[in-house]
A and B are shown apart, each in its own frame.
Chain A
């Protein structure tokens, strides 16, 4: 993992590596979304599941490409693919937090594992804010709408929604952070055990 950063920009090989592992990460966002999406409350834990599973991909990109762009480009690509499917907020949050992660990792020349873990947590947090954020937004709106509907007691509906989302997100946010740190550790374990020996990273 302790290589000197090369001055040259991203090669086609780096871009292909980023592209392929981003495809896997994007597929993971969809798979975790479908797995948890059947129950809306569980859906808040989709980013946590994504955080565990995508750790190895993220670590492989960061250690194999090992240059500026290794974190922000996957973040932007996932954002663009989500935007094309109607989720523009993912692009905004992942772009912003991906950039922050990139700056932190670049400061240590992509050599410090701790910096990469922070970058990865920011990456997953960006996905959480982008993918889950709109739910809060639309729930407020649902509440405002339910007042005008006949047969709904607004205070009552509010209590149900608050219990469902308020309490669950209080659990989901720390779980997501811990899961993404765990995913990063899982990624490093795989890197050390398999990919470094095989001479890939």
Chain B
């Protein structure tokens, strides 16, 4: 069922992500092929670590570990982007800390502090969006016994994101044709009216898509109570074991480092 849907989704997603280099993406994915359940655990672990790391050095080390994982997962560009973002913020913080007696500078350093604090979210986002396909995510959740009532809407939700932009652009075209273009000015002029002009057709289309999607899913046997098969069955291999050990080891080391300080 949704695994089937998802095979299509992952292909399409690869197309969206790389602008047509789907083949390349698939080849790229094959060499790591880390079990998505381990990646899911990694995302949770790194997200929770935000609350444990209290020092600047611990924070920087976490970013370094994240970059290491991103490079291992064949996402060097994402790793570089994260490094530049974090490095830039740190540099700015260093430059501004000399002039902290001014009110405005103190306020700006707070902003920079918060941005820097949350910058590991950027790495987590890459892990979630770029290192995992929707199909992998769903089969991982299925293996973790997440109920179908959550998995089916989640599959729909994840598949629907690209469609939202398409639908909105269609509605913008129609509004322009009808002489009510959606611009910043027209929105400021009559906000509630413009919201209504956008929301009503958009939601009508969404309702229709929901009907069509559910008809298609039922036709493919989504309501079959038997166990569904997956195109790429989950397997925990020795590589996953190594990855898992490194993950747990590095997280434990980071937290231990913080606790000892």
Report which A residues bind B (CB closer than 8 A).
10-13, 15-24, 26-27, 40, 53, 56-57, 60, 64, 69, 73-74, 76-77, 80-81, 83-88, 134-135, 137-139, 141-142, 145, 149-153, 156-157, 160-161, 164, 186, 190, 194-195, 198, 200
Contacts and interface: CB of A to CB of B under 8 A. Distances in A.
Contacts of A137: 51
Nearest to B211: A13
B207 A200 contact: yes
Given A19-B154, A40-B111, A88-B48, A198 B204 contact: yes
Given A16-B210, A164-B107, A69 B149 contact: yes
Would you call the interface of chain B mostly helix, strand, loop, or mixed?
helix
Interface centre among B44, B48, B156, B195 (most CB of A within 10 A): B156
Contacts of A74: 153
B69 interface: no
B124 interface: yes
B77 to A, nearest CB: 19
Contact of B200 (A85, A87, A134, A190): A190
Interface string B191-225: 01001100110111011011101100110001100
21 contacts: A10-B149, A12-B223, A16-B210, A18-B156, A19-B157, A20-B206, A22-B153, A23-B157, A73-B150, A81-B157, A83-B43, A84-B40, A86-B120, A86-B121, A150-B97, A152-B100, A153-B101, A157-B110, A160-B106, A164-B107, A200-B207
Interface string B127-157: 0100000000000000000000110111111
A28 to B, nearest CB: 10
A20 B160 contact: yes
Contacts of A20: 156-157, 160, 206, 209-210, 213
B54 interface: yes
Contacts of B107: 160, 164
B155 to A, nearest CB: 7
A164 B110 contact: yes
Interface of B: 40, 43-44, 46-48, 50-51, 54, 56, 97-101, 103, 106-107, 110-111, 113-114, 117-118, 120-121, 124-125, 128, 149-150, 152-158, 160-161, 164, 192, 195-196, 199-200, 202-204, 206-207, 209-211, 213-214, 217-218, 222-223
B106 A156 contact: yes
B199 A16 contact: no
Contacts of B154: 19, 77, 80
Contacts of A13: 210-211, 214
A125 B222 CA distance: 34
Nearest to A57: B203
A27 B164 contact: yes
Nearest to B217: A12
Given A19-B152, A142-B113, A153-B101, 6 more contacts: A12-B217, A16-B210, A21-B203, A24-B206, A60-B203, A152-B97
B114 A138 contact: yes
B121 A24 contact: no
